[in-house]
A and B are shown apart, each in its own frame.
Chain A
Amino acid sequence: MSPGETARPVRPRPRLRTLAITTGLIAFTVFAGNEVGFDASTSWEMWTNPLWGMFWPIPWDWVLDRSNVLDPLVETFQIAILASLIGCGLALPISFAMSRLTTPNRPTYLVCRSVMNVVRAVPDLFWAKLLVTAVGIGAFAGTWALSIFSLAVMVKLFSETVDNADPRPLEAARASGSRHLPAVRTGVLPTVLPEYVAYALYVFELNIRASIVLGLVGAGGIGRVIEAQRQFFRFDRVLGILLLVFVIVLIIEQFSVALRKRLV
């Protein structure tokens, strides 16, 4: 093969479709930026806004006071724990019902799947607000909302695991004349249980974070305190609460992540 034998190729032009998509995306971004009030000239001014001074100094005496912050914070974690237990507990049977592998019959499968898709499409705090309206302001509504939210997430994660489980043990159990439920119990459950526990811990981590903001819409916990202080313009207190919460959440998460790593 001697050099220069073949002709150099012509540089391919960018395809029209690529150009159109790029232009479209840029145009949409500019338009959307305009709509949300992005303004290059003022977006830097906000960082020098004197109102930042309202966040400082942090009144640690107030923040670390038991009735002001710590009690609602405990309530927050109680909501998260209870909601995780309820959500993950309910998720176990529902996941089995909406997995192709283990569903008892087709109608159950379809109903579970479509209901869960709709439930998940509604943002979590919309649920909280609806339930606050229905059952009244407070932690009860929050627990309920968070339970629904964890159920939706857990079912999504876990049913996929069940879908991908090894079908052969189930077949073997059925071949031995087992009824549906015991067959699933002995043939599938043991193989997916470790992942179930791992996902449950993951959902718990999500719930810890989500429970903090529940109170912003009246569903109990520390968010209620943040909302109140925010309306009194006590941003120093807000920042203090947030820093405290942040540290505690990180600690809880470290525990949960460590536990998850050991289990999987």
Chain B
Amino acid sequence: MTTTRTPAMAPRPSPPTGVARRRILLALLLVIGAAWSLTGLDITLARVLGAPSDAWVIFRQLWPPDIDKALDRGVVGKVFESVYIAWVGTIIGAVISLPLAFLAATNVAPRWIRIPVRQMFNAIRAVPELIVAVIFIPITGLGPWAGTLAIGLHSVGTLGKWATEAIEGIDTGPVEAVEATGGRWVSGMRWGVLPQIMPIVASFWLFRFEINVRASAVLGMIGAGGVGAELVSQLMFRNFGTVGAVLGITVLVVLTIDTLSAAVRRRIIAGVARTSGPDTDGDRNAEALRDLTGLRR
């Protein structure tokens, strides 16, 4: 090219103002939020600067862990008690939530029952296990049964919500087929829906079990059974070596269960992908699970 062309003199657009204004607003909101929170929490610069060294003093003493002392005090048994609590709690949650989920799904349940059941799931999910345990402990007394009930009840909320979503992702063809043969609603759920959702729901249960193991470890801190109580008492006596051992054993068991359970879940999902027919969208459920497993709750 030998000649330069003068471009047409279109007016240059000015940058949109809305975006910038929204950003400033957001930043302002965050700063105000932070400032307001800081004032209320009695946080001084001296404390902030001093905290890392304070924490380091303690954290340094966690190593080396005093494994012998921990084993003497039966910490392994306590960790397993936490696992039992999580397991039985998950089963309670699973057994209660599954039938309820059928009443909450948009595509199979009538509106009048669906709304209250959904709201119930939401309400249960909003109450942490620890709070449920606080309510149950005066009734059942201190011990693992209170923790189990708390875990079970809280699991109803999440498991119910997930199962509802699984049901909403099914192919409704078989349900229509059952309806067309003169089957009852229950039969439609049992034969048209249940076989479709069962693998995915089972992997939801496993995932919830993983979360519940962590939750039940914490429950012991308020006396609802499991390893938490041991952590609290060892910290109180400032036996930091033993604390280190308790933490180490807990983390080891938690991670082992996570790994095993995740492997089983992967196999289930692989099976789902394999048996989804060519003209159904059963894979949508598998996808939902993959999305979901990124979240802790």
Binding site for B on A (CB under 8 A): 28-29, 31-33, 35-38, 46, 49, 51-52, 54-55, 74-75, 77-79, 81-82, 85, 117-118, 121-126, 129-131, 133-135, 138-140, 143-144, 153, 156-157, 160, 202, 206, 209-210, 212-213, 216-217, 220, 226-227, 230, 233, 235, 238-239, 242, 246, 249-250, 253
Contacts and interface: CB of A to CB of B under 8 A. Distances in A.
Nearest to A118: B251
A46 B153 CA distance: 15
B148 A38 contact: yes
A191 to B, nearest CB: 16
Contact of B144 (A36, A124, A139): A36
Contacts of A52: 139
B34 interface: yes
Q: How large is the interface on B (under 10, 10 to 19, 20 to 34, 35 or more residues)?
A: 35 or more
Contact of B138 (A75, A123, A227, A233): A233
B255 interface: yes
Given A38-B145, A134-B54, A209 B135 contact: no
A207 B194 CA distance: 35
B231 interface: yes
Nearest to A235: B138
Contact of A129 (B51, B131, B232): B232
Given A209-B128, A239-B135, A160 B294 contact: yes
17 contacts: A29-B88, A33-B88, A36-B145, A37-B148, A51-B139, A78-B38, A82-B41, A121-B254, A126-B250, A133-B58, A133-B235, A139-B41, A217-B222, A217-B232, A239-B135, A246-B126, A250-B123
Contact of A213 (B54, B59, B128, B225): B128
Contacts, number: 172
Given A121-B255, A125-B130, A135-B47, 13 more contacts: A28-B87, A35-B144, A51-B139, A54-B138, A121-B251, A123-B254, A126-B250, A129-B221, A133-B235, A135-B55, A139-B41, A153-B296, A246-B127
Contacts of B297: 206
A36 B147 contact: yes
Give the secondary structure class of B's interface: helix
B235 A129 contact: yes
A118 B258 CA distance: 13
B138 A37 contact: no
B291 to A, nearest CB: 10
B135 A242 contact: yes
Interface string B54-94: 11011100000000000000000000010111011001000
A170 to B, nearest CB: 22
Interface in B206-226: 214-215, 217-218, 221-222, 225
